[in-house]
Every structure is written in structure tokens, then in C-alpha cells.
Amino acid sequence: MVLSEITITKAIIDRFSRKFMECIDVDTAVVGAGPAGLVASYFLAKAGRKVAVFERKLSVGGGMWGGGMMFNEIVVQEEGKEILDLFGIGAREYEPGYYTADAIEAASTICSHAMKAGARIFNCMSVEDVMIREGRVIGLVITWSPVQMAGLHVDPLTVTAKNIVDATGHDTEVLAVIARKADIHLFTDTGKILGERSMWAEKAERLTLENTKRICPGVYVAGMSANAAFGGPRMGPIFGGMLLSGKRVAELIAAGR
Ligand code: 48F
């Protein structure tokens, strides 16, 4: 068989276009393919929801690959270990209640499970704005990340979603654009983003779960974004809260809460 470059080109454009077309109106759009976003997309897809994940970077996994300060091991406490076990990620007890896992195994395995469950992930796509109708966020405005990076003057495209998950980590990027551009009152004490506080692992891990919730009509927060939105502290390279937050947000969406 003689390989044709044109067939290769057509195959990629054709397959990608179909995949993308299937995701321009979804049940849930997850912004950010870090640990919280990936776990959320796994559970949502598993529950039969049509879910698309938009990730700014070329790679998925967010802050997980680098473990702590690029020592590529993560720590997970007892509560979060159930998620590692579910995905078959090797966890070793370090001291009672503290487990470690290889950061590369964790990130790649969670991503693989999310995709095999049916989630679709679009890397190199950045969410730069939202669409709002009658006080509810109904969709995302997306562009290619390299367009943003190069500062090119190119108009974006849009996707609609019944539910949006801001899993963008420390910068709460979806909420930030809502706060900047819309009159929507967030379900926080002030109605605005409260902002992340300094490192306190114990408190932060607990609060991550509490703060995982609907933050305005159409939008949920998960992972570090949830803590930053509700004024919780950061926690550093312990990941149980991130994993459980992804599961929690999927449960809330499935229950319509
Ligand atoms: O930062 P990230 O890993 O968020 P997370 O899932 O987990 C936080 C931990 O990694 C760590 C921690 C300890 O547990 O505190 O920081 O809450 O992943 C967020 C992802 O969102 C992407 C970003 O590139 C990253 O991969 N992202 C951020 N803004 C956008 C975005 C955007 N506007 N559009 C698309 N993707």
C-alpha cells in the first residue's frame, strides 16, 4: 500500500471535525483538565452524560505532573485513596494515613479512564468568555490557545452546555470573566470571588469538598477553583481533595443540585 499524505490529512480533519461537532452542544462542559476536571469528566461520562473538557495546554493533568516542586510524586490521604484504587493507580502508604502515588501514573491513568468512559477532551483550547441568557450561563466562548499566545486578532467560536464546571485551578478563570463582564451574583458571601488564601493543607482539603458546588446559575466550581472562589486556602501537593471534588461535582450535576 502506498501511503498518501492527503489521505492522512483528510482523516485528521474529518475525524476531528466530527468529534468537535458532537461537542458544540453538551450536557456538561468542563473547563480545565487538571485532576478535578478529569475526575469530574470521568464520573459524568460514566453516568451517561455528554461531556466535553476544554484544556488550554497541550498536555492534560494540570498541576499533577509536577508532584511537589517537580518531585513527581503526589500525596493522597486516606479519604482520597478510594479514587486512586478505583482507577487502579498504585498507592503506597508512607506513614499511617499518607499515601504516595507516581504523579505520571496518576495523571495519565485518570485521563485514560475519563476518555474511555466517553469524555471528549479538547486540548490547546482556551475558554476566554461565556454566554449568558436571562441570568444563566449557557455556554463558553473558546479559541485556540496559540491564537491567544500570539495575540492574533481572530474571533472565537462558541459551545453551549446545560452545566459548566470551572475546574481551572487557582485562577478561577471562568468565574473571573463572569465577575468582570456580567452582573451575575455568585453564591458566595459577597456575591464576588473571595480569593485564595495562603497554604493550610488540613483546612484546605476539607474545604475543597465543602466549596465544590453550584456558584451561579449554570456554573459549578471544583478543585482548587472552588477554594479560590470561596476564600479557602491552598493545599500544596496533596491531591485527595482534588480527586474527591471531581467526584462530588459530578454527583451534584447528576442530581441536578
Ligand atoms: O491547576 P489544576 O491542576 O487544577 P485542579 O484540578 O488541581 C489543583 C492542583 O493541581 C494543585 C493543588 C493541589 O492539589 O493545588 O494546584 O483544581 O488544573 C487546571 C487546568 O485548567 C486549565 C489549566 O491549563 C490547567 O490544566 N485552564 C486554566 N484556565 C483555563 C484552562 C482556560 N481559561 N481555558 C482552558 N483551560
Q: CA torsion sign, 68 to 72 to 73 to 76?
A: positive
Report yes or no on 238 lying in a domain. yes
Report yes or no on 231 lying in a domain. yes
What CATH number has the domain bearing residue 191? 3.50.50.60
The phi, psi pair for 148, rounded to 5°, reads -65, -45
**Are 45 and 253 spatial neighbours (Cβ–Cβ below 8 Å)?**
no
Average pLDDT over residues 237-243: 97
The phi, psi pair for 212, rounded to 5°, reads -75, 105
Residue 115 pLDDT > 90, yes or no? yes
> Helix or strand or coil: residue 144?
strand
Q: Does pTM top 0.95 for this prediction? A: yes
The count of other CB atoms within 10 Å of the CB of residue 123 is 14
Closest-CA residue, ligand 1 atom 25, reads: 62
Q: pLDDT, tens digit, for every residue of 16-44?
A: 999 999 999 999 999 999 999 999 999 99
Residue 183 pLDDT > 90, yes or no? no
> Helix or strand or coil: residue 221?
strand
- Taking the CA of residue 35 as reference, the ligand 1 atom at the shortest distance is 6
> Which is it for strands 120-123 and 73-77: parallel, antiparallel or unpaired?
unpaired
Average pLDDT over residues 207-230: 98
Residue 80 pLDDT > 90, yes or no? yes
Q: Which residues line ligand 1 (CB under 6 A)?
A: 31-37, 54-57, 62-64, 126-127, 167-169, 173, 223-225, 234-235, 237, 239, 242
User: How many structural domains is the chain composed of?
Assistant: 1
- Rounded to the nearest whole angstrom, what is the distance from the C-alpha of residue 2 to the centroid of ligand 1? 43
**Are 91 and 98 spatial neighbours (Cβ–Cβ below 8 Å)?**
no
CA 178 remoteness from chain centre: 17
Average pLDDT over residues 201-205: 96
Report yes or no on 160 lying in a domain. yes
- Of 55, 75, 128, the one to substitute when testing ligand 1's pocket (max ligand atoms within 8 A of C-beta) is 55
At 215 the pLDDT is: 98
Report yes or no on 25 lying in a domain. no
Report yes or no on 6 lying in a domain. no
Report yes or no on 167 lying in a domain. yes
CA 233 remoteness from chain centre: 19
At 229 the pLDDT is: 98
Report yes or no on 133 lying in a domain. yes
- Rounded to the nearest whole angstrom, what is the distance from the C-alpha of residue 194 to the centroid of ligand 1? 18
- Taking the CA of residue 142 as reference, the ligand 1 atom at the shortest distance is 34
Range of the structural domain that residue 209 is part of: 32-254
Report yes or no on 52 lying in a domain. yes
Residue 12 pLDDT > 90, yes or no? yes
Q: pLDDT, tens digit, for every residue of 39-55?
A: 999 999 999 999 999 99
Percentage of the chain modeled with pLDDT above 70 = 100
